[in-house]
Amino acid sequence: MALKVLIVDDEALARSRLRTLLGDCTDPRAEVVGEAGNAVQAMEQLQRCGAEVVLLDIHMPGMDGVALARHLRDMQPQPAVVFVTAHAEHAVAAFELEAVDYLTKPVRLERLQQALQKVLRLRAEPEAQGLGEALIIQERGRSERVALSDIIYLKAELKYITVRTADKEHIYDGALSDLEQKYGHLFVRVHRNALVARRCVRAVEKVNDPIDGEGWTVRLDGVDERLSVSRRQLAAVREALVG
């Protein structure tokens, strides 16, 4: 079954290009159920067409795309928002509005399909509606939302933090102590330089190092590597294991 998509962009050529790309989408398939050149037209269209996804430009006459996205959060059912813009600097604001994705023009078919696949995953997981808490990762000129529920561990490396998921590593510019304070309900400190997801703790194991002597490591779901556990944090990690 095809996803119902509304295209919102003040440039007719941009709408035409997106319509063509959507016609080429096969995984998943997409059906364009309406087009709008501004926010007022978009709201009128949404009342009629029942779009599940809104491909939304940011710079438009009158109400811009960010402001429109705020209004869409009050709709029931709430359509998924994917921003499509030539301006990368609005990515953080967009993700704070729980946008599913943020595509920069010119849009590639592969990226568009990835965005639509994210929409499908969220629709298949009702508990994920609203997207939940996430980190906004900014790397190599693009911004990406990484759900906290996908993160296995956070490890301080020099000035940055390595954010490890099951299939990828990200670099995050921030302080481990700030993340611990904000998300301590989800992560437990295992060492002065590392937090691990409580849900991923599977075993605490004793190791004997010829140089450092007896120590402890934690085994985590989703990755093969073991992280060191300091004696100071051992009790907290064991508590996470049984919790």
For the entire predicted model, the pTM comes to 0.57
For residue 128, pLDDT beyond 50? no
Of the candidates 234, 229, 189, the one whose C-alpha atom is nearest the C-alpha of residue 209 is: 229
- b/e per residue, 33-59, with b = 16+ CB within 10 A? bbbbbbbebbbebbeebebbbbbbbbe
Q: What is the mean pLDDT of residues 203-213?
A: 77
| Rounded average pLDDT over 233-238 | 92
Residue 143 contacts residue 91 (beta carbons within 8 Å): yes
Indicate the pLDDT class of residue 127, thresholds 50, 70 and 90: very low
Mapping DSSP to helix (H, G, I), strand (E, B) and coil, where does residue 110 land? helix
Q: b/e map of 68-81 (b: 16 or more CB within 10 Å)?
A: bbeebeeeeeebbb
pLDDT for 225 equals: 92
Residue 211 is predicted with a pLDDT of: 60
**Distance between start and end Cα atoms, the chain:** 41
Give me the pLDDT at residue 35, please: 96
Structural tokens at position 30: 């997409």
Q: What is the set of domains in the chain, with CATH numbers?
A: 3-128 (3.40.50.2300), 146-242 (2.40.50.1020)
Residue 134: what pLDDT?
82
**Tens-place pLDDT, residues 148-199:** 989 999 999 888 999 999 989 999 988 999 999 888 889 999 999 999 999 9
Residue range 77-86: average pLDDT? 90
The most confident of 71-85, 88-102, 184-198, by mean pLDDT = 184-198
If you average pLDDT over every residue of the chain, what do you get? 88
Give the contacts of 37 (CB within 8 A, at least 6 positions apart). 8, 9, 10, 12, 15, 60
Q: Is the pLDDT of residue 67 over 60?
A: yes
Say yes or no to pLDDT of 130 above 50.
no
Paired residues of 55 in beta bridges: 7, 82
